[in-house]
Every structure is written in structure tokens, then in C-alpha cells.
Amino acid sequence: MQPEFTAIAHPNIAFIKYWGNRDDALRLPLNGSISMNLSGMETRTTVQFDQALVQDHFELNGETQSGPGLQRVSDFLDHVRRLASSNHFARVSSSNNFPTGAGIASSASAFAALALAASKAAGLDLNQKDLSRLARLGSGSACRSIPDGFVEWLPGEDDASSYAVSIASKDHWDLVDAIAVVSQGHKPVGSSAGHKLAHTSPLNAQRVLDAPERIRNCREALLGRDFARFAEVVELDSNYMHAVMRTSNPPLVYWESATEVLLWQVWQWRKEGHAVCATVDAGPNVHVLALKSELEWLQKALWELPGVKNVLTGEPAEGARLAV
């Protein structure tokens, strides 16, 4: 038996979204993206390779997994085995401190924590770039949960050049993400299937063409702590992605009526002078990004809106790390 390693990683919220791949197997994205790691929510994963095992074993929140859940982890471990020239199977035990399927993407924190714990357990000592590349193979957005704080995924041209880097530390800007959860159910079409539909939208080519401009705008707004500029580009990018989703074949509509109400309300609050803006991932929940000074009233106000079942809060967080 080899030593076991435990790693911790946070989910992240994308300000500029990853949607669609140039290469689905390698998860080479059509465009770059920018995100912030979210404190408070985390995945903790322990991995141990064991030559006595006849297959990989995966436990999530105390329950043994089989079927597609196990398969995705096992496929990922194949990449680790390839890098480590090993043929040993592994025992993986993972837990989220936020409810799985609560509308918070868990694949980013899951594969970031798994990449770190599994590579260490296999005897590898990957640098941050190679760890981010590895995490990307499990889930695209997971490559952004490896570096600290505010992160940019450089889309690259091949496996070697597609990875994420930190563009500012978690202490750079007092931003918060107040997540208004309107649905806790599993989404009808997961992101991996959704990415494959991006190409079918007539709007997609334009979205991809304009992405470097939005990336530049977002990076500059973030580095300059310019909330008004930040809000504009974040909402444009989210709406652009949902326009592509809606015009795909078949159409992907992730918003619910409560999503629309929330978005409208956030826009009103900003018109009234509050530093708030909204972004939505592949689901109906609304991520309200705000300056921390807005958080107290914002949390109360979100709870009072129709259809809001929970409000979770995340602040900028560090990247993936080993548990001590």
C-alpha cells in the first residue's frame, strides 16, 4: 500500500465563462475564462493507491459510487496512472461541505482536489501549471480551482498550453458571491453534454470571437477594482453564454421564472447605486457578485425574493492545497 494524501479545493464562479470545447476529450476550451475561488464551500478528497485492489473504489459523502460517477473518477485516475507509469488502482474518498446537487457546481472543486491528492498519492510532484492541466482533464472549470484567488484560464492550443494562472491573490478585492439558490434539483443537461451543443448555435462564433475583448475588460476591471466596468462585462458574458445555450439545437434553457425575477431585481439595485451584478452558470441559480460592504442587506433582500430557497455566500479563496 502506498501513502494516502488528502487535498482540499474550492468551487469557483466564472466571471467570463467557459462554454464549448475545441477538443472535448482534452477539454481544450473555445475561449479563455476568468473566475474567483469561493471560500466556505469545499471538497476534501483522500486518495490511496493499493496494488491489492482489482478496481478503483470511490466513495462520495460516505456512499460508495458506481456507474457514471465511478467511471468519471476512474477515467481521470487513468491520466494519473499514465503520468506515474503505474497500474495500481486507488481508493478515493471525497466529501463536500455543501450539498451535492444544491446548484453549486461541484465538479470544479472535486477534480481540483482529486488532481492534487491523486498525483501526490501516485508519487508525482507536479508544479501548479501541470496540476492545473491535469485537473482540466477531469472537468474544465477544475483547472481554475488550482491557483489562488482570482484566476484566468489561458485557453492555449494544445494540452501543454491550456491551464490556469492566478491573476490576483484572494486579498486583492473584497468581492463576495451571494448565491440565490432557486432550485436544488439536478440539471436536466449537465455541462459536459452542454459544451457539445455550443457549436450548434449561430451565435457561438461571434461569442468566441469577442471573448478576448471581454477577458481583457474583465481582467483590467478586476485588477483596477473598477466595479462598474466589472459588472458590465460580467453580465454581458453571462447573457451571451445563455443566448448561445438558448439558440443551440436542441435549445438549452437553464433559467426558471425565479431566475428572471432575480436578474431583474439585481439590475434595479445597481440602478439605485448598489455595487451588485449577476451571473448564471449552467443552472437556474443566480450568483450575485457584490462588494462585501453590500453583503448584509443583500443577503436579507435575496431571502425575501420569490422562489429563493437558500442563500450561500463565498468570498475569494485560496487554491487547492494538501490538508495538514
- Counting contacts by CB under 6 A, is residue 281 touching ligand DP6? yes
The minimum distance between CB 209 and ligand DP6, in angstroms, equals 18
Residue 279 makes contact with ligand DP6 by CB under 6 A = no
Rounded alpha-carbon distances, angstroms, from residue 30 to 51, 181, 220? 39, 28, 21
Tally the C-alpha atoms within 13 A of residue 26's C-alpha that lie toward its C-beta: 15
Site for ligand DP6 in 140-159 (CB under 6 A): 140-141
> What are the cell numbers at 239?
447573457
* Distance (Å, whole) CA 88 – CA 77: 10
Q: How far is the CB of 139 from ligand DP6 (least distance, A)?
A: 3
Compare residues 19 and 173 and give the one whose CB is closer to ligand DP6: 19
Interacting positions 54-93 with ligand DP6 (CB under 6 A): none
The binding track of 94-133 with respect to ligand DP6, each residue x by CB under 6 A or -, is -----------x-x--------------------------
Phi-psi category of 273—alpha, beta or left, where left has phi over 0 and alpha has psi -120 to 50? left
Among 10, 27, 242, 274, binds ligand DP6 (CB under 6 A): 27
Q: Which residues contact 115 (CB under 8 A, 6 or more apart)?
A: 7, 76, 80, 131, 134, 135, 138, 142, 146, 320
Report the side by side order of strands in the sheet with 163-168.
12-16, 33-37, 150-154, 163-168
Q: According to the binding rule CB under 6 A, does residue 139 interact with ligand DP6?
A: yes
Q: Which residues bind ligand DP6 (CB under 6 A)?
A: 14, 17-19, 27, 33, 105, 107, 139-141, 191-192, 195, 281-282
